[in-house]
Amino acid sequence: MNKKLFVAGLALALGAGFTLNAVAQVKPEILVKQRQAAMTLQGKYFGPLAGMAQGKVPYDANTVARNVGYLQALSHMPWDGFNPSTSGVKSQALPAIYSDAAKFKEAQDRLTGAVDKLAAASKGGNEGAIKAAIGDVGKSCGGCHESFREKQ
């Protein structure tokens, strides 16, 4: 395959969001867009689970299993976007993300850990345990936002 054509084709295919993270420093605006994208999708797939835990949405084990699988991937995706290079880009990220990096990392690990526990509960099939685990994921979202996101 003609390499130049291949590169041009990929650039066309991927559009403006195309970035070679490993090659060049990714622009701060792109990092913010990517981390916000991960948060948006966490909301998309966690929302219905929260609704089930609250009794607002009928419990559906298949939706839980699918969404939790997605969340196991998504819960790892935002964090490399919180690079100090982005601190000048307008967003709701608070400076504590960079001034208290250890606590921010703890909050990330709390989320990924809670999602993994939810995945284990989901495989176990006990609805009560699953709903409790959903609640713990929600608390980890809230705890991190409390410390590291501008009040809305």
Positions touching its own copies (CB under 8 A) are 1, 3, 6-7, 9-10, 12-23, 33-34, 36-44, 46-48, 50-51, 53-58, 60, 63, 69-70, 72-74, 76-77, 135, 138-139, 141-142, 145, 149, 152
Q: How far is the CB of 50 from its own copies (least distance, A)?
A: 5
Helices (H), 1-152: 3-14, 28-53, 61-74, 96-99, 101-124, 127-148
Q: How far is the CB of 143 from its own copies (least distance, A)?
A: 8
Nearer of residues 14 and 120 to its own copies, judged by Cβ: 14
| Phi-psi map region of 26: left, alpha, beta (phi>0 left; psi -120 to 50 alpha) | beta
Nearer of residues 77 and 129 to its own copies, judged by Cβ: 77
56 DSSP assignment: S
Q: Pull the structure tokens for residue 24.
A: 């060049």
